[in-house]
Structures are given as structure tokens and as C-alpha cells.
Amino acid sequence: MGVTIEPMGCGTLAAGLDMFEAGGAADRITIPVPSYLVRHPDGIAVIDTGMSTALSTPGSFLDLISLFFEVGLDADTLLAAQLQQRQVDPVDVDIAIVTHSHFDHSGGLDQLPNARVIIQAAELAAARDPELAAGSNLNSGDLDHGHDLVAVDGEHDVFGDGSVVCLPTPGHTPGHQSVRIRLDDAEVVVCGDCAYFERTLDGGPLPGAGHDLAEQARSIGRLRSLGAAGAQLIPGHDPAVFEALPARLG
């Protein structure tokens, strides 16, 4: 069996478009919160983990996030439930690749108790630095569940065969990374929040705020080069792109 990818919808977030694009209208948009199940002959990996279980029920954390977003999350859209719907026990997930430590990407790590977490060293250092974490809205607590944290510096070959490779794409956060997956007949890049939407990859506006928008633009250029070479680029939160993905790639 080769490598496969299964997109998982781990809830939604809704806010004005101007939360995601500089100069965007205040018109409300609902975006998916994706996670990706990667099956490899040598193990099971998940790319991003969705949101914390604390956001599926009333409480102080939901009150805080609700100041900025309307959260759509319930028992069926938590990461653990999405895995179980695909006949994967969360305890059997070997690797969790975190593109970055924002609440909607690293919040579900506690649902993967046995996973080894792969994160860029720059992202981990920023999450551990109170000033940088506050400036980039990094959720350091998501990384404090006792996991084996593997801090990588630059490109990282997850399984050692070139099929799943972490690619540094900083800018949105200090150590943001994307993930390239080589299937039997295609190459796919999970972009994370380096690019929220397909139009971001096509030169559309960046968010109004971020760690380093100039660096993010350079990272988008790298992703566009991969796309020009034939890779399928999956942006971080594009509703139309995510809806059009098949249940399994590969």
C-alpha cells in the first residue's frame, strides 16, 4: 500500500473576511478547520489537529475565542471522532505534524496521547517565549501534554523515504511549516496558514497582521514554485477547495 491522505473536517470558524485578508469586507465567511490523516506503510500521521475539546462546550476558553470567531465544533467534529469515523483509534496515531501553534491547528494534540509531535524549532522557541507567543497568538499550552516533541530545523523527511517532508514556510508565525506528500501518482502540499485561500496563492491579499508578512510572501513564492512544477497546493482554510477534495487522495 502506498501513501494516502484523508482530509478531515474538524469544525469551522466564522468571522468577517477582514479577519483573514487585509482590506477585506466585513461580510461574514465560514471557513473549515482541516486536519489530514496520512497513512504510510511505516505508520499513521496527522497533519494539524484541529481545535481543543474545550471549544466544544461552554467555558472560559470558548468565551475568549468567541470574541473573534464563531466556533462550530461538537463531539462529531473533534479530531478524535473524525479519526474514529475512519477506523483509526487516536492512540494509534504515531506522528502529529504541527504546521504552527495556533489554537485551530495544535489544539487537538491532547487527543493523540501517543503521537510524536514534529514542529519547527523556531516555532517551538517562539511558543516558549512569552513575548513572541503573545505577538503571534501562539498557544504554548497545546504543546504541554507530555508528548515527545521533535523540534526540526528546516526540511525534515518524516518517514525517511521522501514521501512526507516538512517544508519551512515561515512568516505567518515564526516557524510555520507546510508539508509535501508524494503519492503514487501525484504530489500534494498541505500549505497550512502560509496561504488561507487559493486566491492567496494567486497573489491575493495577505492577512492584515502576522509575524512577518514579507517573509510570508516569500514562503508563498516557494509554494507557488512547487505548484508550477505540478504539485497540488491545498490552502489552509479555503471552503471551496476543501469541499472539493475527495475523501481520499492516493
For 96-110, what is each residue's pLDDT tens digit? 999 999 999 999 999
Strands 28-40 and 43-47 come out as antiparallel
**Taking a C-beta distance cutoff of 8 angstroms, is the pair 111, 46 a contact?**
no
* Gap between the Cα atoms of 104 and 198, Å rounded: 19
The values of phi and psi at residue 118, to 5°, are -105, 120
**Taking a C-beta distance cutoff of 8 angstroms, is the pair 242, 9 a contact?**
yes
* Gap between the Cα atoms of 44 and 223, Å rounded: 25
Strands 187-190 and 232-234 come out as parallel
Q: Please give the torsion angle defined by the CA atoms of residues 55, 169, 234 and 198, in that order, rounded to the nearest 10 degrees.
A: 100
pLDDT grade, residue 25 (50/70/90)?
confident
Closest by CA to 191, choosing from 212, 157, 221, 162, is 221
pLDDT grade, residue 24 (50/70/90)?
confident
Q: Dump pLDDT digits (tens) for 149-159.
A: 999 999 999 99
**Taking a C-beta distance cutoff of 8 angstroms, is the pair 65, 55 a contact?**
yes
Q: Which three cell numbers stand for residue 23?
A: 482590506
Amino acid 26: pLDDT:
80
Strands 70-72 and 95-97 come out as unpaired
* Gap between the Cα atoms of 220 and 191, Å rounded: 9
- 3-state SS string for 78-126: CHHHHHHHCCCCHHHCCEEECCCCCHHHHCCHHHCCCCEEEEEHHHHHH
Give residue 177's Cα distance to chain centre: 9
Identify the residue whose cell numbers are 509575524: 211
Q: Dump pLDDT digits (tens) for 41-64.
A: 999 999 999 999 999 999 999 999
Q: Which three cell numbers stand for residue 41?
A: 506503510
Higher pLDDT, 8 or 24: 8
Over pLDDT 90: what percentage of the chain?
96
For residue 1, pLDDT over 70 is answered with no
Amino acid 29: pLDDT:
97
Q: Please give the torsion angle defined by the CA atoms of residues 9, 163, 202 and 37, in that order, rounded to the nearest 10 degrees.
A: 0
* Gap between the Cα atoms of 49 and 61, Å rounded: 17
Amino acid 173: pLDDT:
98
The values of phi and psi at residue 201, to 5°, are -70, -25
Over pLDDT 70: what percentage of the chain?
100
Average pLDDT value for the chain: 97
For residue 210, pLDDT over 80 is answered with yes
